[in-house]
Every structure is written in C-alpha cells, then in structure tokens.
Amino acid sequence: MARAAIGWTASSIYGSAYGGDKAYDGVASVASKWTSIGSTRESWLALDLGEARVITGFVVRHAGSGGELKAFNTQAFRLETGDSLGGLWTVRVTVDNSAQQDVTIAVLEAPVTARTVRLYVTDAGIDSYARIAELEVYSTGTGTPKNCPAGQYLSEYFNGTSPGGPLLWSACETSVNYNWGTAGPGNGVPNDDFSVRWTGSFTFQAANYEFVGRSDDGIRIWVDEVLLVDAWRDQSYSEARGARRMTAGDHVVKVEYYEHLGSAAAQVLWEGPTCDSGEFLAEYFSNVSLTGNPVFARCESAINYDWASEGPGDGIPNDYFSVRWAGDFTFEDAVYTFVGGSDDGIRIWVDGALVVDAWRNGSYRETRGSRTMIAGGHEVKVEYYEDQHLAKVQAWWEVGNAPPLLTGWEDGQPLGYANRIEYVWNVAGYNNSSNPPPEATRVPQEGPPMAPNGGGYYLRVAGYSQASYAYVFFRLFDTNIPIQTGMKLRFWVYPQQRSTFAIDGHFTDGNTMRDLYNGDYLKDQNGVRIHPGARGVYAVGQWHYIEVDLSRAAGKTLDYLMVAFDNGSDGYIGPIRAYFDNVSIGP
C-alpha cells in the first residue's frame, strides 16, 4: 500500500490544516482530512507516489469515516492515474456514492502501472466542500512478487470468495496465523467477501506429517498438488486435518482461504515429524551431545549401521556426531533382553527406564539389559554417539520366558484375590461404613484415570481412614517365587486422595518387603522406601511408575503379594483411593 506519497497538489484547500498531505497520513478524523473550498461542486486531489508502481486498487475514506455526518460524504467521483502531476490523466474508476457510504473500495480489473493518482470529485455533496479523510492507493511496489524465499509463502489477497479474482495485494509471509476478527486484513482488502492464496516451498524430513487448517470460513491445503485438507464451506472457527508421508526435501504447500461474513481467521501448521508404530524416528546431530536442532530426521525400521570411518553423510561429519532413535513398538507378556552394540557410546530406555547404559568411548562391544514387559505398546528410545575413527551401532531385543508374575488385571492374565483383607486397623469402607468394607478389586477403567499403558481394567483400592493411625493390607496373589539377584518389582500407581499406598510382599521366613532390612531397606528407583507409610512424597492425581530392586531379598521365597495403605501416623482422616496396574516380578 502506498500512503506516504512524496508530493501532492489540489484544486484548492480550505486552509493549511486541511492540505492534501492529510489524506495519506494514516489518520481518518475530523481534524485530519483534505478539504476543498466549496465554491464549486467539482474539485480534485493528486498524489505523487515517487516512482512508477503496479497499482491494484484504491480505498477512499469519506467524511463519515472520520466521525462527521454521512451527509458530508462525497457523492460522485472518479479515480485516475498518470505519469506526473501536470501530465495527462486516465480514468480508471468512476463511482456514484449517492448511497453515502463512508468507505469506497475500488479494485481494478487488471493492475496498472503509474506514478501519480488523482481523485476527481464531480459532486462534493451537500455544501460543495469535498472532505476526504484518507486516499489509499494499493500496489505491489514496482512489480507483483512472483517468488518468495524458501520457507516463506507468496500470499495473494483477492476480492471475492474465489481465489484468483481481482488481486488486491500480494506479499511474502513467513506463516499463516491470522485472527482478523471483524476487521479484515486491511491493505485494501475488504472485511468480508475476500479470499487468499498462500503458496510456498518448505523443507520436510522423511517422515509422517499432519497438516492442520483452522479457519472461519473455508480453507483447503494441498501438498505437491495433492489435496489433504478440504473444509471449503461457511463455518465458525473450526479445525480440519490431513496426513501425508513426506519424502526428505522441499515440497510445495498451497493454502486457499475465503471469508464470507462476520469474523475472519486463518491458521495453518503441520505436526511432525512422526513415524508409524514399529518404526523409529531417527534424529541425527552434528555433535556428540544430542543438542540443538538435528541436521536431519527420518523414519527407520531398524538400527543396524556399520559406517566404519565414513559416517552417515547428509551433512553429518564422520566423527563427533550423535543419533537419537525413538519409537513405539508392540511387545508380548514376557521378559525381554535389550541389546546395544556400539562404537562408541550407547544407551537404551524402555518406557523412560534406562535398561542399557554403555555411554563411553570404546571399540565395538555389546551390552545387555532385561525387562519384564506387559503386552501392548511401549516406547523404546536409543541414543548413540561417535567420538573418533570407526562408527558402528546396532540395537535389538530378544524375547525370553514369561516372568514369574505379570498382570494388568486384563482378561487372560492372573486376577488373584478380590477384597481379601490380611489385616486392617481403623479403616472402613469408602463411605466410612462397615458395609461395604474396604476393597481391593478389579474394575473397568473409570477414566480418569485412564490405564497408563492401555488396557481396559486395573485394580482399585479404596477405604476410609478413621484415625490418625490406620492401615489395611490385602492379599493379591499366592506366588511362591524364589527371589534372585537382579529381580525387580514393577508397578504403576495412581493415588487419589493420599499417596501412602504400595505393593507389598510376604516371604516364607516371615519377613515382608516393607520391613526387610539387609544393609538398607528395599527402595524404589527414586530412593523412596517401599513401606506404604513412607510413600507420601508422591503427588496425588497422576500415575507413577515404580521399580524396586529386590536384590536385597535374594535367596528368599516370596510367599504372597499384597497391596497396602498406611497413613503413616500423619493424622489423616477421610476417604482413600488408589489404582494399580501392570504389576510384575521378574528380571
């Protein structure tokens, strides 16, 4: 838009305070306007734009737009273009404004090139004084941009709800993220009945992306001329999505949008990269610390690379680089051994738990770690770095035997006892009654909380603490499991009112997990004792993954497994409830 002309001339002015410069100062008000002397109903104002420009349209803001009465609006006029202020003029638009509109928008059927423009008033209206609050000339500079840099959109704003109509304005834009409300985009574009086309080239990784269009009214999105999002309709602010597997490199994204009436908004984004289940999203970094943005990313089905002294290529150096792989994979109820082979460092996490840790320089070697898996989907993350010389990395897992105990209380898994109280003190039923009594029973997931790793059931433990010292222990399973060094108790717990809940166990020699002391007590991965009364450090209202190393109990036999609440003598009186899921004992 050209508001800041370098000069002007007029048929007349009412006074120095109402000169032609007031018509392009960006202010529409009673005090800021061009006003002619009212000796004749015809008058004119001409502007010099400073250079020849490609003009696409005009906006004339009359007296009413500056706060005056509509009766003072210009009645009839024409818009003309020329090469100089004193040269010939060509009529481009003729307007009859007898309806007394405050603003006139005039879009040229085809852009024209001109240095000067003239507003020629043929009927100033009620008192022959022409009053023009603003004369806006819209152009695309010395030429409409045909291309924009990679990573930017060429935006084209059109009059009407069909992209490709009269072009009002064009520019390069870095994003599509607009909430115009009822005001519209400006720049000569009306508040309603306009459309926009954005086209740009953007770089993608070899992975899945989901394209999101949010709009009021219609929107559609193409990628490489393939229509992915089609919500081309009048609508209040809504969201539409479409997915595509992208190849690595540059791709053309085209967005079209239209606004009919009322509020206007348009936003476009894409989410990714992501990969399918059973694939890794691999991110390659040009440093050994996995920091900053990856040089590239792609989906990979396996980790099995022997780069020797060459490195991965594609902008990654031969030495001093790192890679992160992360993906969701399906496992069965079993003990799995995870293997990481590397030159130099490697580490492997499963569901956020570190299973393999060989994060150090060294020639190729294989490191193993075992984990008991619940049937279903689990996240596996592998990190690797190469220091110098040879580079090689492999990661895989091997299935072993089923663990001694594993249950998520799903169909086909061990269900154990329901509501079998071993001992209780000052704990009643959840409603502070003896009937029903405290419970530890399998229930369908009540959501929230949703089961932590999918599935339709979990164990609900509930009661009512009636005194400052209260506890209840339920027997869950008769186990007879010999405990060996390296075996672990694992479970998920969601405490609701209080967090002093835990899985407990009884050994054949009379010891319990909660009280066993062998150089130290049994503690979880965060150093918290497994005794239920000591577990108040965990937040309520969220799932917690708990892992307890049972090596201090090696040589003992686990007689039966329990679940317990113990208020730890903290004085709490009131209802108690917690959910347990995915309990296992194994390597």
Same domain for 415 and 562, yes or no, is yes
Q: Do residues 496 and 566 share a domain? A: yes
Q: Which domain holds residue 96?
A: 7-139
Residue 145 lies in a domain: no
The reply to whether 240 and 179 lie within a common domain is yes
End-to-end CA distance of the chain: 71
- On whether the CB atoms of residues 168 and 56 are closer than 8 A, the answer is yes
DSSP letter assigned to residue 76: E
Structure letter (DSSP) for residue 361? -
Does the residue 1 lie in any domain?
no
Say what the pLDDT of residue 340 is.
96
- What is the SS3 assignment for 65? helix
Where residue 357 sits, what CATH number does that domain have?
Answer: 2.60.120.260
Please state, in angstroms and rounded to a whole number, the distance separating the CA atoms of residues 423 and 433. Answer: 17
Indicate the residue among 82, 104, 139 that finishes a domain: 139
Q: What is the DSSP letter of 312?
A: -
One domain, residues 350 and 412: no
Domain boundary among 259, 274, 289: 274
Please check whether residue 98 is in contact with residue 124, taking contact to mean a CB–CB distance below 8 angstroms. no
Q: Could you give the number of structural domains in the chain?
A: 4
Last residue of a domain, one of 274, 303, 338: 274
pLDDT of res. 125? 84
Are residues 133 and 255 both part of a single domain?
no
119 and 77 assigned to the same domain: yes
Query: Is 386 within the bounds of a domain?
Result: yes
Whole-angstrom CA distances from 293 to 233, 297, 318 are 38, 10, 18
Q: Is residue 147 part of a domain?
A: no
Are 241 and 218 within one domain? Answer: yes
Look at residue 11 and give its three-state secondary structure.
coil
295's torsion region: left (phi>0), alpha (psi -120 to 50) or beta? alpha
570 in the same domain as 456: yes
* Residue with the two structure tokens 């969601």: 494
Separation of CA 310 from chain center: 36
Q: Is residue 377 located within the same domain as residue 420?
A: no
Pairwise CA distance, residues 587 & 583, whole Å: 13
- Counting every residue written for the chain, the total comes to 587
Is 349 part of any domain? yes
Q: Both 341 and 481 in a single domain?
A: no
Report yes or no on 144 lying in a domain: no
- 564 Cβ neighbours under 8 A, 6+ residues apart: 471, 472, 473, 474, 501, 502, 503, 504, 514, 532
- pLDDT of 262 reads 95
Per-residue pLDDT of the chain in tens (587 residues, 90 and over written 9) = 334 588 999 999 998 899 999 998 878 888 999 999 877 778 999 999 888 888 877 888 899 888 888 889 999 999 999 999 989 999 999 998 876 788 887 878 788 889 999 999 999 888 889 999 989 887 754 444 456 888 999 899 998 999 987 788 888 899 999 999 999 898 888 999 999 999 999 999 999 999 999 999 999 999 998 999 999 999 999 999 999 999 988 899 999 999 999 999 999 999 999 999 999 999 999 999 999 999 999 999 999 999 999 999 989 999 999 999 999 999 988 889 999 999 999 999 999 889 899 999 999 999 988 888 888 899 999 999 999 999 999 999 998 777 788 888 988 889 999 999 999 999 999 999 888 899 999 999 877 788 776 678 999 999 999 998 999 999 999 999 999 998 999 999 999 989 999 999 999 999 999 999 999 999 999 999 999 999 999 999 999 999 999 999 999 999 999 999 999 867 899 999 999 998 999 88
CA distance 60 to 117: 12
Residue 377 forms part of a structural domain:
yes
* 359 located within any domain: yes
Stated pTM of the model: 0.54
Q: Is there a single domain that holds both residue 325 and residue 307?
A: yes
Whether residue 503 sits in one domain with residue 358? no
